[in-house]
Amino acid sequence: MSRNRAASTRNRNYSVRMRASKQGLHISGAEGIYDRNDVTRIVQAYTERALLHEKGRADEINMIIEELKEKPRRISSLPLCTLNTRNPDHVKKSAIKILTSAGITERAVEEAFRSLNIGITMRGAMLMDIEGVRLEPDLLRGVRVTRMGITRVAAATLSKKLGRLDLNNFAVKEALILASKAHKHPMLLGELCISDDPSYTTGYVVTRKYGYIRLPRIKKRGIPYGGRAFFITGGEVKDLVKYLQKTPVLVNKIRPCRGTISLNGLFERKSRR
């Protein structure tokens, strides 16, 4: 092999994406960006996950393994904390306070909660302007954030930090990676997310200033739908969608992961800085 060829085959990154369904209904998904040498191991791990999911064993598993032509952009994760929210009502009030502090209107946040609670689960995220007007090109499907991952070293650091908080699970790690990619885009002001897993009752909101804020008891146990809303401002939606869907991004640095705090604690901590 010539030296050039050797160099070009080294460190090739692959996007590996998995989607599992049962009788046509979505059960689980996972994705990451991996070194070529890790791809087979990951395909096996994803397959096992799809076959073991709490929503039932998949009868169809789709896997995409795609060599990335572009070098992934390296980013740091959003800082993480958990709010001491008690019930869905308390969550909503807190989410409104946090998101309106970033310039999003209360009406838009109300509209996002309403849309995420009507029982239709979209595959991707809604895009809303600060007034709550929907801007995504496909209103049924939404926009999927894809082609993101985390380096091995950062993944180990993240697992350690989350482990101390007893939070070292796929749901937290994958949501944090997704949100960290999305919120690197200058058009994003905030996000609201509710899991579609019936037993996963913790959601989150994001703002640039406060980072990734987990919201326990955002929904009652047993509710099988959820969704995501990105609040956006100024700029070309087309370019944003392209970034969210196509630009490969790797988290390679982990910002602080904090335990449970109150809303006042969140606001005070920042204003003291």
Residues that bind ligand WAQ in the complex, under the rule CB under 6 A: 121-122, 124-125, 144-146, 171-172, 175, 178, 193, 195-197, 200, 202-204, 214, 226-228
Among 81, 196, 203, 232, binds Mg ion (CB under 5 A): 196
State yes or no: residue 197 binds Mg ion (CB under 5 A).
yes
**Min separation Cβ 249 and ligand WAQ, Å:** 12
**Burial status of residue 105 (CB atoms within 10 A of its CB: 0-12, 13-18, 19 or more):** middle
**Min separation Cβ 197 and Mg ion, Å:** 5
The binder of 252, among ligand WAQ, Mg ion, none, by C-beta within 5 to 8 A per type, is none
**Min separation Cβ 152 and ligand WAQ, Å:** 21
Nearest Cα to 263, choosing from 110, 113, 88, 95? 95
Residue with tokens 């705090």: 261
Alpha helix locations (H) across 144-254?
Answer: 152-164, 170-182, 237-246
Nearest Cα to 194, choosing from 85, 59, 32, 33? 85
**Min separation Cβ 233 and ligand WAQ, Å:** 19
d(CA 244, CA 234): 16
Phi–psi pair at 143, nearest 5 degrees: -115, 125
The binder of 19, among Mg ion, ligand WAQ, none, by C-beta within 5 to 8 A per type, is none
The binder of 156, among Mg ion, ligand WAQ, none, by C-beta within 5 to 8 A per type, is none
Assign 107 to helix, strand or coil: helix
d(CA 207, CA 130): 13
**Min separation Cβ 172 and Mg ion, Å:** 13
Assign 139 to helix, strand or coil: coil
The binder of 88, among ligand WAQ, Mg ion, none, by C-beta within 5 to 8 A per type, is none
The binder of 190, among Mg ion, ligand WAQ, none, by C-beta within 5 to 8 A per type, is none
Q: Which of residues 99-138 bind Mg ion (CB under 5 A)?
A: none
Q: Interface with Mg ion by CB under 5 A: which residues?
A: 196-197
